[in-house]
Amino acid sequence: MELNLLALCYLFGSISFIVGLKMLSNPASARKGNLFAAAGMTIAILGTIFLYEEDGVKLGNYGWIFGGLILGSVVGTLMAKRVQMTSMPEMVSLFNGMGGACAALISIIEFRHLVKGNPTEAISEIGSFSGLDQTKLLIILLGLIIGAVSFAGSMIAWGKLNGKIKDFSFKGQHIANLLLFAITILLAADIIIARPGETPLFFYLIIFFSVLYGVFFVLPIGGADMPVVISLLNSFTGVAAACGGFLYSNKVMLTGGILVGAAGTLLTILMCKAMNRSLKNVLIGSFGSGANTGQGSAAMVGSYKEISLSDAAVVMGYANKVMIVPGYGLAVAQAQHVCHELEKTLEARGVEVKYAIHPVAGRMPGHMNVLLAEADVSYDKLLEMEVANEEFKTADVVLILGANDVVNPAAKSDPASPIYGMPILEVEEAKHVIVNKRSMKPGYAGIENQLFFQPKTSMLFGDAKKALQDLLTEIRNI
């Protein structure tokens, strides 16, 4: 009876993941979908703790189990509540890295079980390796390698996103990375099919080389590619978790891992498509790294012009249609709520207001969508790139808030530019473009933006939040 009840817990958990993921596709139901999936996971965890048994023996060590659950819940809740929207990408990377570390630890523990059947005996003391279950060994090694790479890579991504780690590359680094990966795979193959007597040493070496590969795998990748990298690492963690589910014959863990792995892979493909780049080009090209800064872009000709707050208020206040393009600068300034106030004020004057969202704007997939959802901006007003590009042709004003690389015309006109070929928001199609930035410094990709020097473009310098507040006051006084 308990076994059937546990199976029902796992079934409900698996279904909750699928339904919750579906609900996440709509902002109106996303919060409920997240809570529903979390409820399914909670039931699956409690079912495992109290109902799982093997050879008539149930789990013990409840103090350690619930101690870890409580500690993790408290720390995770506090971190999530205190995190700023600008730091959300770092938190995603950090949490994803913890998932990869857990998957790797599972493989380490299960390897100890497999080689001797005695979890308390040190690997270095094991002398007999005959009769190893090669299928389980394969899954263990896959979980170890993928989990370790995901953990190390996510930690480097976390450091790069918060500015503590800089892009780093050296001549021949991509070849070195391939060698590290090849050595790791060869060691794993040797354990499985060749010399099981050397398993302990090779197993430790696999851990070392996997972590090293994860570090060097992410280090050279430029900032503009970080959304793609985060998505890819997320898929790695899902696959590693699925390996753990296979080892334990745990249906809910297997389902969750497969969903995360598949969703992460699909999102990675979509992100690459949005940037008009192959995944290979992302991983090898180092687009947006310091090495590429300023290279390949045509020299800027002419000068930019500034616009006063009063003039910007008049242009926007008497427009028929205004398009807002949010970027990372909006997130840095925490200006999403003021932006929503500006939207409502303009609409009260009869101005049509819509938002143009580029798939890779910000520092993680969907960063701008999450940012604007926090300010209760209607999802119907968030236009995807293809739709927005058609709308720009009928817009009187485009207000760009902290976006840079995703509106750079060099992607279409300058074959020498590192971003050439990347689909962009074609804001230059509008009658007038107002760009809010702190300064004329290049964006995250490290290249100049030709848009800023075009005749129809005006620069509105300053912090996005203060600029929008002042602009809002000016419009209300018209």
CA 340, CA 327: separation in Å to the nearest integer?
14
Q: Give the 3-state secondary structure of 51-89.
A: HCEECCEECCCHHHHHHHHHHHHHHHHHHHHHCCHHHHH
| N-terminal to C-terminal alpha carbon distance within the chain | 73
Active-site position among 190, 405, 463, 470: 405
Handedness of CA 300, 305, 307, 312 (dihedral sign): negative
The answer to whether 339 touches 463, Cβ cutoff 8 Å, is no
Name the burial class of residue 170, with classes exposed (0-12), middle (13-18) and buried (19+) by CB atoms within 10 angstroms of its CB: exposed
The answer to whether 238 touches 257, Cβ cutoff 8 Å, is yes
Handedness of CA 305, 309, 314, 316 (dihedral sign): positive
Name the burial class of residue 350, with classes exposed (0-12), middle (13-18) and buried (19+) by CB atoms within 10 angstroms of its CB: exposed
CA 412, CA 414: separation in Å to the nearest integer?
6
Q: How far is CA 158 from CA 166, 219, 272, 343, 405, in A?
A: 11, 11, 21, 33, 21
CB environment 21-58: b (16+ within 10 A), e (fewer): bebbeebeebeebeebbeebbebbeebbeebbeeeeee
Q: Scanning the structure block, which residue is given the tokens 């408290």? A: 74
- Cα 433 from chain centre: 30
Beta pairing partners, 458: 434
* Closest to 405 measured CA to CA, from 329, 305, 310, 320: 329
Size of the chain in residues: 478
CA 53, CA 50: separation in Å to the nearest integer?
9
CA 428, CA 411: separation in Å to the nearest integer?
13
- Cα 79 from chain centre: 17
Residue type at position 209 = F
405: annotated active-site residue: yes
Q: Which residues are catalytic?
A: 405
